[in-house]
Amino acid sequence: VSTLLPTFIPGSRVCSGSDISAAGVTTQSPEQALFVSDRYARLILAQMNKMRLRADFCDVRLRLGGRVFSVHKLVLAASSPYLSALFSGWMSEAGEEVQTLGVEAQVFEVLLEFIYTGMIYATVENIQELMVAADMLKLSEVVSICGEFLKSHMDLSNCVGLYQFLEQIACMDMLEFTEIYVHVDFLEVLHSVSDEFWGLSKDQLVKLLRSEELWIEDEYQVFTAAMDRVLDPVRFPLLSPQRLFKYIEGLALGQSSHVRPNWDVYKYCFV
């Protein structure tokens, strides 16, 4: 659990050993100061959570599957732009109970705990569901936390699967991180998770193979990686070597030895 410490501002006075800081103010008098209490914000959040658990002052009920969550509309609207829009729109006409949000109840319970406490319980089993739901609800802080979790658990065995998952939900920051991971460890990834690697779509594979950031020993490794995907259905005994050589020579025409091949040429070969 991370703790945010008061930011020191030149000219401010900070009370040692407390959550109260004096914010910098422009004043001619040393008898004036603006104080900020981080502890107050945490106490208010904790008190609102206690009210939720007792169903005190809750003004909306969310029904997900067979479960009902009593919550404060203001708290959820302030936490999620998605919920704010829903509460401000047609949901405001639907009475006190909302039937569904398109999120599994157990996943929403974890997110609801975060909304009211700032803490979230993430595991390798629930992290992808949490990230998808948080992205849908526009809980950007939870999406960032899930991204950090995935970074800390990324390895050769799961990086390709995570690349596919992150592209599906269009999480661009994490997708870029995962691409770099695959680029740097390309040869190890290729041999460690061959099944997942060949499970990539043709567009995903082309995007990876044409990257200038691939860490390879020579271009032949990229060639064999691409051909392993293409050549399996080809019946070579029925293919003329002369025609094959002519095709390869044609691809090489006009390409500098210092420039990586244009992999768009190969896209139509992928099935």
pLDDT in tens, 76-133: 999 999 999 888 876 555 457 777 678 999 999 999 999 999 999 999 999 999 999 9
pLDDT tens profile 142-191: 999 999 999 999 998 899 999 999 999 999 989 999 999 999 888 888 77
Is-contact 37 7, C-beta < 8 A?
Answer: no
Is 231 buried (19+), middle (13-18) or exposed (0-12) by CB count in 10 A? exposed
Return the closest-CA partner of residue 5 out of 38, 42, 45.
38
Query: With bands split at pLDDT 50, 70 and 90, how would you rate the model's confidence at 252?
Result: low
Mean pLDDT of 28-54: 88
Other residues' Cβ atoms within 10 Å of the Cβ of residue 55: 11
Confidence check: pLDDT of 261 > 90 = no
What's the farthest any 2 CA atoms get from each other in the chain?
Answer: 93
Phi first, then psi: give them for residue 173, nearest 5 degrees.
Answer: -60, -50
Mean pLDDT of 16-43: 70
Residue 198, pLDDT score:
73
Would you kindly state where each structural domain of the chain is located, as residue ranges? 154-271
Pairing assessment for the beta strands 34-37 and 20-23 based on DSSP bridges: antiparallel
Residue-averaged pLDDT of the chain: 79
Confidence check: pLDDT of 200 > 90 = no
User: Per mean pLDDT, which of 1-5, 19-23, 78-82, 260-264 is the most reliable?
Assistant: 78-82
Q: How far apart are CA 2 and CA 4, in angstroms?
A: 7
Query: With bands split at pLDDT 50, 70 and 90, how would you rate the model's confidence at 22?
Result: low
